[in-house]
Amino acid sequence: MDGNGRWAQRRGLPRAEGHRAGARSLRSIVEAAAAHRIGTLTVYAFSSDNWRRPRAEVAALMLLFRHYLTEEVEECLRKGVRLSAIGRRDRLPGFLTPLIEEAERRTRGGDRLHLRLALDYSAREAIVRAAAGARTREAFSQALGPDVDLLIRTAGERRLSDFLLWEAAYAELVFADELWPDFDAACLDRALQQFRSRERRFGGLTGYDEAWDASTAIA
Ligand code: FPP
């Protein structure tokens, strides 16, 4: 969800205003994603490297997450959205962890869309943790989460920035120029159109018919 800072800067506003606008954008994209029958939507809200930002910006973001978690639970329940968080919890401010747990508990039954907030998240760290706790590749994948089909990065950036590195092994990447606060339902539609136009081969070949090949080999 890149571009909040630039969005604010262009309007002569503090960066925190950009993040607030980003939260509004998230609300409308959650609704649009559910309408498109997307099963899981994972949003990168705070990376483990974001702790390096100015203390005031980090504090503003944490308060925004608190506000979101408090306000959005009822909305999620109404919309059938299951809310959960991925990432480390031990470094988040003490007021956030119980709110995350409560949101997860209350929205557990949501079956229309699973919204995952990546908070204090690092894919590399998640991979190391999953590898330490899993004996098989299946258990490892399960510890991380579902594979990503479509990964959208906004604001003209062209990086993965330590986001879902394992899960996105065969993800289709869409880069949008819109700043996140300007990313609306029409932008999501365009990203999905691009996704649908891609040919996904997962390393195989299209138009290759093994049965046909086998029969020619017999002949
Ligand atoms: C990156 O844009 C954005 C973030 C580090 C924060 C993302 C958070 C939100 C969108 C707030 C809403 C989320 C929730 C869960 C309430 P940037 O600040 O790096 O933008 P820039 O590249 O233009 O400076």
The 10s digit of each residue's pLDDT in 8-64 is 999 999 999 999 999 999 999 999 999 999 999 999 999 999 999 999 999 999 999
Taking the C-alpha atoms of residue 94 and residue 103, their distance in angstroms, rounded to an integer, is 15
Residue 39 lies inside a defined structural domain of this protein: yes
DSSP state, 149? S
pLDDT beyond 90 at 5 = yes
Mean pLDDT over residues 134-143, rounded? 94
What pLDDT score was predicted for residue 206? 78
Q: Any idea of the CA torsion for 122, 192, 4, 61, to the nearest 10 degrees? A: -50
Residue 218 lies inside a defined structural domain of this protein: no
Structure tokens at 213: 């090949």
Task: Give residue 89 CA to ligand 1 midpoint distance, Å.
Answer: 19
What pLDDT score was predicted for residue 102? 98
Exposed/middle/buried for residue 185 (C-beta within 10 Å: 0-12, 13-18, 19+): middle
Question: Is the distance from the beta carbon of residue 17 to the nearest atom of ligand 1 less than 6 Å?
Answer: no
Which CATH number does the domain housing residue 21 bear? 3.40.1180.10
Please give the residue range of the domain that contains residue 105: 4-196
Question: Is the distance from the beta carbon of residue 117 to the nearest atom of ligand 1 less than 6 Å?
Answer: yes
Question: Is the distance from the beta carbon of residue 22 to the nearest atom of ligand 1 less than 6 Å?
Answer: yes
Residue 97 lies inside a defined structural domain of this protein: yes
Question: Is the distance from the beta carbon of residue 3 to the nearest atom of ligand 1 less than 6 Å?
Answer: yes
Instruction: Name the closest-CA residue to atom 8, ligand 1.
Output: 45
50 catalytically annotated: yes
Task: Give residue 45 CA to ligand 1 midpoint distance, Å.
Answer: 6
Question: Is the distance from the beta carbon of residue 180 to the nearest atom of ligand 1 less than 6 Å?
Answer: yes
What pLDDT score was predicted for residue 211? 63
Taking the C-alpha atoms of residue 62 and residue 59, their distance in angstroms, rounded to an integer, is 5
Closest ligand 1 atom, residue 117 Cα? 15
pLDDT, tens digit, for every residue of 51-107? 999 999 999 999 999 999 999 999 999 999 999 999 999 999 999 999 999 999 999
Q: What pTM was computed for the model?
A: 0.93
What pLDDT score was predicted for residue 207? 72
Task: Give residue 14 CA to ligand 1 midpoint distance, Å.
Answer: 13
Instruction: Name the closest-CA residue to atom 10, ligand 1.
Output: 22
Closest ligand 1 atom, residue 119 Cα? 15
Residue 201 lies inside a defined structural domain of this protein: no
Residue 206 lies inside a defined structural domain of this protein: no
- The answer to whether 190 and 29 have CB atoms below 8 angstroms apart is no
Closest ligand 1 atom, residue 65 Cα? 16
Instruction: Name the closest-CA residue to atom 18, ligand 1.
Output: 5
Residue 98 lies inside a defined structural domain of this protein: yes
pLDDT beyond 80 at 215 = no
Domain count, the chain: 1
Residue 58 lies inside a defined structural domain of this protein: yes
Residue 215 lies inside a defined structural domain of this protein: no
pLDDT, tens digit, for every residue of 85-97? 999 999 999 999 9
Question: Is the distance from the beta carbon of residue 44 to the nearest atom of ligand 1 less than 6 Å?
Answer: no
pLDDT, tens digit, for every residue of 163-190? 999 999 999 999 999 999 999 999 999 9
pLDDT beyond 90 at 216 = no
pLDDT, tens digit, for every residue of 201-214? 998 987 766 765 65
Band of residue 136 on the pLDDT scale cut at 50, 70, 90: very high
**Residues forming a β-bridge with 113:** 81
